[in-house]
Amino acid sequence: MAVLSKKEIVAGLKKLGIHSDLEVDSFLKEYKKYCTYENNVHSQQSCQKNKIMQSTISKRFNQACLSAISFIGNMLSVPKVNVHNRSKR
């Protein structure tokens, strides 16, 4: 949300027929509270999305690491060799 400047707000209020300093000040205070609230809500939502994204990425990374370790372990494992007992010959 783009925050309006004080001049833009006062101009908009004048177009609506609101010229009283008391009404303009009251509206500006309420607008400031609204902007602060909206920014906080947006920040919380962004933070939650980031946490979810980080969790998903870390899970995928862990799975990829486990897969890589399993693959490398299988490639490096020593194949079983049948050893014949020489004493029976």
User: Cα–Cα distance between 65 and 45 in angstroms, integer?
Assistant: 30
Runs of H (alpha helix) within 1-89:
6-15, 21-76
User: Cα–Cα distance between 83 and 69 in angstroms, integer?
Assistant: 29
DSSP label of 16: T
Q: Is residue 49 predicted with pLDDT exceeding 80?
A: yes
Report the predicted TM-score, pTM, of the whole model to 2 decimal places.
0.46
| AA letter at 34 | Y
Residue 37's pLDDT band (boundaries 50, 70, 90)? confident
Q: Is residue 36 predicted with pLDDT exceeding 80?
A: yes
- If you average pLDDT over residues 48-57, what whole number do you get? 86
Residue 83's pLDDT band (boundaries 50, 70, 90)? low
- Summarised one tens digit per residue, pLDDT across range 10-25 is 888 888 888 888 888 8
Closest CA to 10 of 19, 2, 88, 1: 19
In total, the chain counts a number of residues equal to 89
